Structure 1
């Protein structure tokens, strides 16, 4: 049946707050719940360094909106939740800040960043440029076994969509594209794209529950797969171009529905 890929879940704790910015550098917050566990499935792998595991779990929680834009992250709470010292927590938060997924206010708080639409557009431009060349390359000479692997990934997505398991569906969506990067031998570019995908991934997560959206994604994946199988490079590129344009073409609606999650101005 071939390999299938999805993304895991995370565990952390936050303080849920109403947030306001005053004179651009004074943070005022009013906490509703001083300790609100979001997920509890994290298990520390003692054979690996702690900081990368904390980073991966927090990043996943942010991208799936378990940690919503504006949520406050408290290092002591996070250390307790993950069962580690504050040193790996600090390291993980620094990496998240580098990706634009959190904002650090010295002496005040660390907040999950709001979604930056301009950054999402840049990430989309990068990904589209890379993947148009990838699907062209794959369609000109499909690697053995790739079509079967992509078919298995599509079948996985269909079952997840039927169960309305949206986070797992997006993980499987990433898995579909990851297989193409792997087949093209450019996994370094996959890592690059994922590093810049935080804002656009959150827009996609907000857009996904829209009626019919999962069906559109699955049809588009099937179109890409079919074009590669037929060795039709122009059709593969056109199908990919249509697929990647979906969320950004609806960005105004997404922003109007979730204004508190979007970076204004």
Structure 2
């Protein structure tokens, strides 16, 4: 029994992360039903880890339970505070990444950019997933677990905004140019520029969200 617990906990964590990613990318949308049997089959997991994962997501407000599980609707939050938090955390994390990233790390980011450049041939949910991977990796390369934890919280809060924001094709293209500029600064080991460009990139996204809010 003592040996089985870590394995069970690991499965529950994996199920939690996969479900969370689906919700954050809007692959699973507000109001969508989450059937335990279906999740068990899709993720090859038992009922116990699936239930543990759902309870954890419920604690974060990402799912609710009313005659079964469903993706929660989330209440709008103060978006400026969220983006300001991202600027502070991700900006400085990227500065550190310029010092600490390995050539292999930079090659991984470059590969993500190549995939995002093919935005017209992939779904919006896939573009969103790649974008999250890029930003998560930037923060992870700071080698600072506190930054990683706090950055993850800003991603949760951004999901909670529940804004009907659809990025236009030109906005996606501009975002990819900004990503490329950030990566170039990392490759040049220019921490000042990397932080400056990251803050500018997040400010650009904040303006798009602000415009969407004004149109509601």
Structures share a fold, TM > 0.5? yes
Q: Which has the higher strand share?
A: 1
Please point out which of 96, 101, 112 is paired with 1:137: 96
The equivalent of 1:155 in structure 2 is 114
1:125-174 superposed Cα distances (whole Å, 9 cap, x missing partner): 333222211222344x3644154443333223213x13133222223223
Conserved in 2, the CA contact under 8 Å of 1:143 and 1:183? Answer: yes
Structure 2 distance, partners of 1:50, 1:234, is 40
In the alignment, does 2:144 pair up with 1:186?
A: yes
Q: Which has the higher helix share?
A: 2
Conserved in 2, the CA contact under 8 Å of 1:227 and 1:233? Answer: yes
Please point out which of 153, 162, 173 is paired with 1:215: 173
In the alignment, does 2:62 pair up with 1:113?
A: no
Say how many residue pairs are matched. 208
Q: TM-score, normalised by structure 1?
A: 0.62
Please point out which of 21, 29, 48 is paired with 1:68: 29
Secondary structure at the counterpart of residue 73 of structure 2: coil
Divergent runs of 4+, >6 A:
202-205
**RMSD of aligned residue pairs (Cα, Å):** 3.4
Structure 1 distance, partners of 2:29, 2:94, is 34
Structure 2 distance, partners of 1:114, 1:188, is 28
Conserved in 1, the CA contact under 8 Å of 2:75 and 2:162? Answer: no
In the alignment, does 2:13 pair up with 1:55?
A: no
The equivalent of 1:251 in structure 2 is 209
In the alignment, does 2:198 pair up with 1:240?
A: yes
Secondary structure at the counterpart of residue 175 of structure 2: helix
Conserved in 2, the CA contact under 8 Å of 1:64 and 1:202? Answer: no
Secondary structure at the counterpart of residue 117 of structure 1: coil
Structure 1 distance, partners of 2:16, 2:208, is 30
Quote the offset at 1:219 in angstroms: 0.8
Unaligned ranges ≥5, structure 2: 1-6
Structure 1 distance, partners of 2:32, 2:48, is 21
Quote the offset at 1:61 in angstroms: 2.2
Quote the offset at 1:223 in angstroms: 1.7
